[in-house]
């Protein structure tokens, strides 16, 4: 039995079965490549759902991690750390916003944003405590906590997990007019992903984000953009909202903020919004720990110095051309922005999973999202030749 199979058997026995991973056990990574326990090499075309925008084990990030680990890794929020003070300033400046709340996972950052929006509505819009509502979009994905799945429209994420948190409403993604009948006097915020990645790389129509921006400003509603997956270069801009100049009131970041080395997330906003939080009302032991802050600071520097957002635009343009270059009878549509793509297969293809398995056997890792979409999100640092070769491998299997 292969080492990989032996390990998979162990995990099958001892691990929770809340995922259905491809049967591959990874042991190491470098740049755009990973190796499994039987030493087979793969090209990583998923980047841990955009947590690895900088690729695996980027030397500068590993150096920042090691350097900080030897100095101070964790100090809780009972004290401040030098790294946290500098991270707050640098991330606020990077986002051209004023205030930063550091957390750990994306889910926690979204939860934090929901709390801030509710409190802001009570304090700044005089909506009675316990009555603000927040509008989320159909087909959203913002995490897995009870409150977040309370406004999911995906039955799999909700079934058997109720009772749910009240105070959320739903609107169709990409449809500005539909919001008129959903917004009411108690609406605190609208929460949106600029591209619905988990839902199958769904892009809204042009002008949607800007329309949301205008609507929210007119009605004094917070526009909260979840850029956990789209932020930090992935779509060809530092943030996806920059494609339309639709700056949000609340920006939610995670994934590649941790440089692909450890978890760190953040809520970023104006002072008017963030300052509704008072000492003791919210917190996290590990949120903003100096180790994560040191890596995140280096990640922001790298994004600029290696011009990764521009790189995502240039490589994304070529990748789009390559992906659309062949007429493949099983492919319904290729869509994407920057280096984030979905290849939607026709129903008769029988689901994307089996193709991802075949593509993995050929040495390229990508993953199905929902039934029929193959998601492609290589590291933004990928070599052009590797990108082209990975796309060729995928297209060769789609028949």
Of 253, 202, 209, 257, the residue nearest 375 (C-alpha):
202
Task: Indicate the residue among 40 and 144 with the shorter CB distance to ligand PLP.
Answer: 144
Q: How far is the CB of 272 from ligand PLP (least distance, A)?
A: 24
Q: Of 137 and 331, which has the nearer Cβ to ligand PLP?
A: 137
* C-alpha angle 52-323-260 in degrees, rounded to nearest 5: 0
Give catalytic status of residue 226 as yes or no: yes
Closest CA to 373 of 390, 352, 391, 394: 352
Distance CA 73, CA 353 (A): 40
Contact 331, 343 (CB under 8 A): yes
The nearest distance, CB 369 to ligand PLP, in angstroms, is 10
Q: How far is the CB of 392 from ligand PLP (least distance, A)?
A: 28
Nearer to ligand PLP, 231 or 236 (CB): 231
Q: Is 341 part of the annotated catalytic residue set?
A: no
**Other CB atoms within 10 Å distance of the CB of residue 222:** 24
Which residue of the set 36, 54, 151, 226 is catalytic?
Answer: 226
Sequence-distant (6+) residues with CB within 8 A of 277 are: 101, 116, 119
Residue 255 catalytic? yes
Cβ 112 to ligand PLP shortest distance, Å: 12
265 closest CA partner among 238, 278, 284, 246? 284
- With respect to ligand PLP, which residue has the nearer C-beta, 144 or 307? 144
Identity of the residue, 136 or 308, whose beta carbon is nearer to ligand PLP in the bound complex:
136
- Whether 225 and 193 have beta carbons less than 8 Å apart is answered as yes
State the Cα torsion 276-121-139-373 to the nearest 10°: -30
Instruction: For residue 90, report the phi and psi dihedrals to the nearest 5 degrees.
Output: -70, -40
Nearest distance from C-beta of residue 328 to ligand PLP, angstroms? 27
Intra-chain end-to-end CA distance of the chain, in Å: 31
Report in angstroms how near the CB of residue 41 gets to ligand PLP at its nearest: 26
| Residue number closest to ligand PLP, CB atom | 106
Catalytic residue (one of 99, 237, 255, 367): 255
> Which pair of structure tokens corresponds to residue 208?
């949607």
The residue annotated as part of the active site, out of 33, 54, 141, 241, is 141
Task: Give CA–CA dist 215/193, Å, rounded.
Answer: 16
Q: Do residues 294 and 67 lie in contact, with contact meaning Cβ atoms separated by under 8 Å?
A: yes
379 touches 47 (CB < 8 A): yes
- Return the number of the residue (145 or 186) whose C-beta is nearest ligand PLP: 145
Of 193 and 238, the one with the shorter C-beta distance to ligand PLP is 193
* Among the listed residues 213, 298, 312, the one whose alpha carbon sits nearest the alpha carbon of residue 262: 298
Q: How far is the CB of 145 from ligand PLP (least distance, A)?
A: 8
Residues in contact with ligand PLP by the rule CB under 6 A: 49, 105-107, 110, 141-143, 193, 197-198, 226, 228-229, 254
Q: List the catalytic residues.
A: 141, 226, 255
């Amino acid at each position: 039995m292969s080492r990989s199979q032996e390990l998979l058997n162990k995990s099958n026995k001892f691990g929770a079965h809340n995922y259905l991973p491809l049967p591959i056990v990874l042991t190491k990574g470098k740049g755009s490549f990973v190796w499994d326990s039987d030493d087979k090499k793969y090209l990583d075309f998923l980047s841990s759902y955009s947590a690895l925008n900088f690729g695996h084990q980027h030397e500068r990030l590993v150096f920042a991690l090691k350097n900080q680990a030897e100095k101070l890794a964790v100090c809780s929020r009972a004290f401040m750390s030098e790294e946290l003070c500098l991270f707050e300033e640098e991330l606020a400046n990077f986002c051209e916003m004023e205030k930063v709340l550091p957390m750990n996972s994306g889910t926690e950052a979204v939860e934090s944003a929901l709390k801030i929006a509710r409190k802001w509505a009570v304090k700044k819009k005089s909506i009675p405590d316990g009555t603000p509502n927040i509008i989320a979009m159909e087909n959203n994905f913002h995490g897995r906590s009870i409150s977040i799945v309370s406004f999911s429209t995906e039955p799999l994420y909700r079934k058997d997990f109720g009772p749910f948190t009240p105070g959320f409403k739903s609107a169709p993604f990409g449809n500005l007019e539909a919001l008129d009948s959903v917004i009411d006097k108690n609406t605190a915020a609208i929460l949106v992903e600029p591209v619905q990645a988990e839902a199958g790389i769904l892009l809204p129509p042009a002008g949607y984000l800007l329309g949301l921006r205008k609507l929210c400003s007119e009605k004094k509603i917070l526009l909260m953009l979840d850029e956990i997956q789209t932020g930090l270069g992935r779509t060809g801009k530092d943030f996806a909202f920059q494609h339309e100049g639709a700056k949000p009131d609340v920006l939610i970041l995670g994934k590649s903020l941790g440089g692909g080395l450890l978890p760190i997330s953040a809520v970023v906003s104006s002072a008017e919004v963030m300052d509704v939080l008072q000492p003791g009302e919210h917190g996290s032991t590990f949120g903003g720990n100096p180790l994560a802050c040191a890596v995140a600071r280096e990640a922001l520097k790298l994004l600029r110095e290696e011009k990764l957002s521009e790189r995502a635009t240039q490589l994304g343009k070529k990748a789009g051309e390559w992906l659309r270059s062949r007429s493949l009878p099983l492919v319904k549509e290729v869509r994407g922005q920057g280096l984030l793509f979905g290849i939607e297969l026709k129903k008769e293809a029988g689901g994307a999973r089996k193709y991802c398995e075949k593509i993995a056997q050929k040495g390229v890792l990508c993953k199905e999202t929902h039934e029929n979409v193959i998601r492609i999100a290589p590291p933004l640092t990928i070599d052009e030749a590797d990108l082209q070769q990975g796309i060729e491998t995928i297209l060769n299997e789609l028949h």
